[in-house]
């Protein structure tokens, strides 16, 4: 910590000492639904982000049996969506997994189908297991399998189900529900007919936009989200392997690529972006931090990530979160296989509001010392001195 900044008062920050007169004054302000800024200034304008979210790892091996139990415990029709949410211990009040992002594991039994609805929150899916998953998004039927990524942009009608006759589907939902609620902008509607009438062509957006060719008429697409709604695993993984041959990648993320809106090259939706990244065998990235929250899902391989000084070992299916401004670095622990991390984030919100900031970890050759303490504070640099 920078010693000058230990004392908020020296920098012109609030340090008024309580007196009986002031205490009485604060009470009187409170009675008028008012308050004195100097009693909260250092809390509401911190030196740097102070997320309530903590780093968390959710192990698929541990959650899967619990998710499967919900199949027998609740009927999909009664539950609406049969989902086990991942809840950050610091964000229970808003059902967030990290920051303003929600995520959960949804299970659909063989032959099940959910009714159609739409809402202000945007949604995305990443399939963990099961081959029978389908979803209808604004009348377009998509089939998705393990490793596939699909989007349900805000305001689009959607319903989904599992057309396999033997095994359940478990997919991960990612939504910006806490963001929408933080902005008091939530709406929700059930489809008047409970179901849409899907067009006959399955995965029509993939047929139209899925080959890096911009089709005739694409310029007419003016909605703020990607017209390509599904991104299958196989071509994504092949693209990452190609990238790994052709480029070095990022020192912080390995070989990483964003799923994009093919018309604009921007993020798939206005509030949430998503990436797939590949860590080469044994690769250990350098630590950095940035504004914006991220939820990761291990798509392939095994490794470890150090987040805010805590080390989390992960394997396929595991999910973990990186709160805003937390130092993080990733390590592929396998000497011969690559490891792949799917992730989604609120970066489009940060960028569109001008809130994006990023910096490299300056010490110890770019790697954090591992403290093992859940709330460990990283060593502060001059730019990031803590509040006193
Ligand atoms: O499928 O639209 O996990 O509305 C939570 C809320 C999924 C969905 C969730 C939702 C959905």
Same domain, 32 and 159: no
Give the whole-angstrom CA distance, residue 5 versus residue 67.
48
Locate the ligand 1 atom nearest the alpha carbon of residue 121 and give its number.
4
Q: Measured between alpha carbons, how far is residue 46 from residues 35, 106, 385 in Å?
A: 18, 37, 10
Distance in Å, CA 192 to ligand 1 centroid: 18
Other beta carbons less than 10 A from residue 346's beta carbon: 24
Same domain, 304 and 378: yes
In a domain, 317, yes or no: yes
In a domain, 212, yes or no: yes
Residue with the smallest CA separation from ligand 1 atom 3 is 173
Provide the residue range defining the domain that includes 13.
3-44
Q: Which residue has the tokens 């392997």?
A: 241
Distance in Å, CA 213 to ligand 1 centroid: 32
Closest CA to 276 of 307, 310, 242: 242
Give the whole-angstrom CA distance, residue 261 versus residue 268.
5
In a domain, 329, yes or no: yes
pLDDT tens-digit profile, the chain (388 residues): 444 344 555 567 788 999 999 999 999 999 999 999 999 988 999 999 999 999 999 999 999 999 999 999 999 989 999 999 999 999 999 999 999 999 999 999 999 999 999 999 999 999 999 999 999 999 999 999 999 999 999 999 999 999 999 999 999 999 999 999 999 999 999 999 999 999 999 999 999 999 989 999 999 999 999 999 999 999 999 999 999 999 999 999 999 999 999 999 999 999 999 999 999 999 999 999 999 999 999 999 999 999 999 999 999 999 999 999 999 999 999 999 999 999 999 999 999 999 999 999 999 999 999 986 544 444 444 344 333 2
In a domain, 166, yes or no: yes
Distance in Å, CA 384 to ligand 1 centroid: 37
Same domain, 259 and 372: yes
CATH number at residue 256: 2.60.120.10
Same domain, 92 and 9: no
Same domain, 29 and 73: no
Same domain, 116 and 211: yes
What global pTM score does this model have? 0.92
- Which pLDDT does position 376 carry in this prediction? 40
243 backbone φψ class: left, alpha, beta (φ>0; ψ -120 to 50): alpha
- Which pLDDT does position 372 carry in this prediction? 62
Strand 230-231 relative to strand 149-152, pairing: antiparallel
Two structure tokens written together for 224: 């703020």
In a domain, 50, yes or no: no
Same domain, 91 and 216: yes
Same domain, 115 and 201: yes
Which residue among 82, 175, 178, 179 is best mutated to probe the pocket of ligand 1, counting the most ligand atoms within 8 A of its Cβ?
175
Strand 339-345 relative to strand 294-300, pairing: antiparallel
In a domain, 49, yes or no: no
Q: Are 312 and 304 in contact (CB under 8 A)?
A: yes
In a domain, 51, yes or no: no
Give the whole-angstrom CA distance, residue 84 versus residue 96.
12
Same domain, 25 and 114: no
Q: Measured between alpha carbons, how far is residue 259 from residues 46, 235, 266, 286 in Å?
A: 33, 12, 9, 23
- Which pLDDT does position 380 carry in this prediction? 44
Give the whole-angstrom CA distance, residue 61 versus residue 59.
5
Same domain, 165 and 300: yes
> Which residues have CB under 6 Å of ligand 1?
81, 83, 104, 106, 119, 123, 173, 175
Same domain, 182 and 35: no
Q: Please, what sign has the CA dihedral across residues 135, 256, 215, 175? A: positive
Distance in Å, CA 122 to ligand 1 centroid: 9
How many domains is the chain built from?
A: 2
Which residue among 83, 116, 154, 344 is best mutated to probe the pocket of ligand 1, counting the most ligand atoms within 8 A of its Cβ?
83
Same domain, 329 and 200: yes
Give the whole-angstrom CA distance, residue 320 versus residue 308.
13
Q: Which residue has the tokens 């041959």?
A: 245
- Which pLDDT does position 88 carry in this prediction? 98
In a domain, 68, yes or no: yes
- Which pLDDT does position 10 carry in this prediction? 58
| Residue 261 CA, distance from chain mean position | 18
């Amino acid at each position: 910590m920078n010693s000058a900044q230990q004392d908020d008062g020296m920098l012109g920050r609030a340090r008024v000492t309580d007196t009986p007169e002031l205490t009485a004054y604060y009470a009187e302000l409170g009675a008028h639904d008012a308050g004195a800024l100097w009693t909260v200034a250092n809390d509401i304008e911190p030196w740097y982000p102070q997320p309530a979210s903590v780093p968390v790892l959710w192990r698929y091996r541990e959650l899967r049996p619990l998710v499967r139990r919900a199949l027998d415990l609740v009927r999909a029709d009664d539950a609406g969506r049969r989902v086990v949410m991942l809840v950050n211990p610091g964000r229970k009040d808003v059902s967030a997994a990290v920051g303003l992002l929600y995520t959960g594991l949804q299970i659909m039994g063989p032959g099940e189908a959910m009714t159609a609805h739409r809402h202000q929150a945007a949604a995305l899916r990443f399939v963990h297991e099961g081959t029978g998953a389908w979803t209808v998004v604004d009348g377009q039927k998509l089939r998705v399998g393990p490793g596939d990524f699909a989007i349900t942009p805000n305001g689009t009608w959607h319903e989904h189900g599992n057309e396999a006759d033997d095994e359940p589907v478990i997919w991960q939902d990612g939504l910006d529900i806490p963001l929408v609620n933080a902005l008091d902008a939530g709406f929700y509607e059930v489809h008047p007919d409970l179901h849409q009438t899907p067009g006959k062509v399955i995965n029509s957006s993939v047929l139209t936009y899925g080959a890096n060719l911009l089709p005739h008429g694409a310029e007419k697409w003016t909605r703020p989200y990607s017209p390509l709604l599904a991104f299958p695993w196989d071509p994504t993984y092949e693209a990452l392997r190609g990238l790994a041959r052709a480029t070095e990648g990022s020192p912080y993320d390995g070989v990483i690529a964003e799923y994009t809106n093919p018309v604009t090259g921007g993020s798939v939706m206005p509030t949430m972006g998503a990436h797939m990244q590949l860590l080469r065998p044994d690769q250990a990235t350098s630590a950095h931090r940035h504004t914006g929250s991220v939820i990761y899902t291990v798509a392939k391989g095994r490794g470890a990530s150090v987040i805010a000084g805590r080390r989390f070992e992960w394997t396929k299916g595991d999910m973990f979160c990186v709160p805003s401004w937390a130092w993080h670095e990733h390590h592929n622990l396998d000497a011969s296989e690559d490891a792949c991390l799917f992730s989604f984030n609120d970066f489009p919100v940060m960028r569109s509001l001008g809130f994006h900031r990023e910096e490299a970890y300056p010490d110890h050759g770019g790697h954090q010392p591992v403290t093992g303490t859940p709330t460990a504070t990283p060593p502060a640099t001059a730019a990031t001195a803590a509040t006193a």
